[in-house]
Amino acid sequence: MNMNALAFRSFLLAALAIALPLAGGSAVLAANDVTGNYVCASMGGKPCDTQTQLRLLANGYWGFGKYSGQYQVNGGNVEFVNGSGGPVTWGPAKIGPNSLTFEGDVVFQKPSAQRAALAGTYRCQTAPGGCLTRNAIVLDGQGAWRWGAQGGSYAVLGDQIRFNGLSSGPAGWGPAAIGNGTLTFSTSSGSSTWVAGP
């Protein structure tokens, strides 16, 4: 075999290596790109009214609380093809960088992985009307929180932390801005700052 034939054969093998995944495995590759857990980031520019995570599994199934079904990736969208309740009633979602955007600018986003850096005990420093609790917010660094007898999970979205759980306590206070060793909740009545410490 001469050098030209060898070069041509190498070229064909390289082209096949690129073409085969694109032709036969594009749906699988695209589905894997969107797999993971998503947390509500905003609803039409307003705060979210759900704390339930949306899960997209690599096997083509989705889950949202008690609801589940199948999804498929079609172009730049995720289509929820069957199931009852939840995202199957919302229509397709546009795929963005680590996010899914539904009609009405409802955005679900993959949490970032900086939970370990937030681990610690946070005590109230300031609050409207003064701090009325001695209970600290304890973050375990693995995605779980505790405040007195209450607890739940949390997710980090950009520079905010979202608490999931009962509507009272941290889960009912809305997202908290992450500072340098601080968590700050902002409500219509003012801001409450919690500081990490012993």
Q: Residue 130 pLDDT more than 70?
A: yes
pLDDT tens digits along 67-123: 999 999 998 999 999 998 999 999 999 999 999 999 999 999 998 777 778 999 999
Question: Does residue 65 form part of some domain?
Answer: yes
**Whether residue 139 is found in the same domain as residue 183:** yes
**Whether residue 98 is found in the same domain as residue 130:** no
Q: Residue 170 pLDDT more than 70?
A: yes
Gap between the Cα atoms of 153 and 165, Å rounded: 7
Gap between the Cα atoms of 140 and 159, Å rounded: 18
**Whether residue 32 is found in the same domain as residue 75:** yes
**Whether residue 130 is found in the same domain as residue 63:** no
Where are the strands (E) in 119-189, listed by range? 120-126, 137-139, 144-147, 150-157, 160-164, 176-178, 182-187
Gap between the Cα atoms of 143 and 116, Å rounded: 8
Output the pTM of the full model: 0.63
What CATH number is attached to the domain comprising 147? 2.40.128
Question: Does residue 14 form part of some domain?
Answer: no
Question: Does residue 179 form part of some domain?
Answer: yes
Question: Does residue 4 form part of some domain?
Answer: no
**Whether residue 123 is found in the same domain as residue 70:** no
**Whether residue 38 is found in the same domain as residue 100:** yes
**In whole numbers, what is the pLDDT of the chain averaged over residues?**
82
Which pLDDT score is estimated for 32? 55
Domain that holds residue 156: 116-197
Gap between the Cα atoms of 32 and 40, Å rounded: 20
Q: Where does a domain end: 94, 109, 124?
A: 109
Which pLDDT score is estimated for 24? 39
8: confidence class by pLDDT, cuts 50, 70, 90: very low
- Count of structural domains, the chain: 2
Which of 122, 124, 125, 193 is closest to 154 using CA atoms? 122
pLDDT higher for 167 or 83?
83
Q: Where does a domain end: 109, 133, 168?
A: 109
What CATH number is attached to the domain comprising 57? 2.40.128.290
**Whether residue 98 is found in the same domain as residue 141:** no
Question: Does residue 16 form part of some domain?
Answer: no
pLDDT tens digits along 140-157: 988 899 999 999 888 888
